[in-house]
Amino acid sequence: MKIDILTLFEGMFQGVFEESIIKRARDEKKVEISLINFRDYSKDPHHKVDDTPYGGGRGMVLMVQPIYDAVMHLKKENSKVILLTPSGTPYQQKMAYDLSKEEHLIIICGHYEGFDERIKSIVDLEISIGDYVLTGGEIPAMVLVDSITRLLPGVITEESHQNDSFNDGLLDYPTYTKPREFMGMEVPEVLTSGDHQKIEEYRQNEKQRITEEKRKDLLEK
Ligand code: ADE
């Protein structure tokens, strides 16, 4: 999979893309991530990318031209263009699965007060990572890349994400490791019983119980 990220702040991605599982996936060429500064596409003599909003109001608005030209330059027949915005479709695990099947993603990170609405004419999907407003689309882009990359073939073992929360509409079961007792808190006995059928039953029941307790809305779906 190839992921192109259009941003004004490439430095924000350092660290996140250069550590742990994402770093390994990049090194092993399971994912190819490029950061593109769309300022480089500005036709303004001073490489301007934003301007004041028509009709007045606060802040600066990202101009359509630099982003439009950058997307047109990168876009191929199989590309999916994603715009990150708090007014997009709420991001969920199912979307991560669907996007992990794509060949090429172009992710546009907004900043400031927003973008010129006309950018939406070249966008396939508008995504929000939650009902709160961030300073820009960079952190949401990292969320997308992380959640999608871990689902790519060979990045982590298939079993690791088969049991993920949300996979079957339920939250994940609780896990424990050594020691067996910590400050008077014991590991549930069934987990040390060696009875795999009982363990499986316990985990399924826990998933149901925890989802009922914390996220009734998931069960209603
Ligand atoms: N940009 C600012 N806030 C955002 C959010 N919650 N989701 C996606 N993009 C954003």
The pLDDT value recorded for residue 157 is 87
How confident is the model over 114-172, as pLDDT tens digits? 999 999 999 999 999 999 999 999 999 999 999 999 999 999 987 778 778 888 899 99
| pTM of this structure | 0.94
The pLDDT value recorded for residue 105 is 98
How much of the chain exceeds pLDDT 70, in percent?
A: 100
144 neighbors 95 (Cβ within 8 angstroms): no
How confident is the model over 107-125, as pLDDT tens digits? 999 887 799 999 999 999 9
Q: What ligand 1 atom has the least distance to the C-alpha of 135?
A: 2
What is the DSSP track for 128-191?
ESSSS--SBSHHHHHHHHHHHHTTSTTTS-HHHHHT-TTTTSSPPPP---S-SEETTEEPPGGG
Ligand 1, from 115, 128, 145: best to mutate by most atoms within 8 Å of Cβ? 128
Cα torsion 71, 73, 75, 77: sign: positive
The pLDDT value recorded for residue 102 is 98
pLDDT band of residue 221 (cuts 50, 70, 90) is confident
Residue in this structure with the two tokens 């027949």, named with its chain if needed: 77
**What residues does CATH 1.10.1270.20 cover in the chain?**
165-220
The pLDDT value recorded for residue 34 is 98
* Annotation marks residue 209 as catalytic: no
**DSSP structural state of residue 3:** E
Q: Whose CA is nearest to atom 7 of ligand 1?
A: 128
- For the record, the structure tokens of 192 come out as 């040390």
pLDDT band of residue 53 (cuts 50, 70, 90) is very high
Question: Dihedral through CA 6, CA 60, CA 124, CA 74, nearest 10?
Answer: -30
How confident is the model over 2-19, as pLDDT tens digits? 999 999 999 999 999 999
Strand ranges (E), 22-139: 32-37, 50-51, 61-62, 79-90, 104-109, 125-128
Choose, from 53, 69, 86, 203, the residue flagged as catalytic. 86
The pLDDT value recorded for residue 191 is 98
CATH of domain 165-220: 1.10.1270.20
**What residues does CATH 3.40.1280.10 cover in the chain?**
2-158
Q: Does domain 2-158 have CATH number 3.40.50.620?
A: no
The pLDDT value recorded for residue 216 is 95
207 neighbors 170 (Cβ within 8 angstroms): yes
Q: Are strands 181-182 and 185-186 parallel, antiparallel or unpaired?
A: antiparallel
> Residue range 19-40: average pLDDT?
97
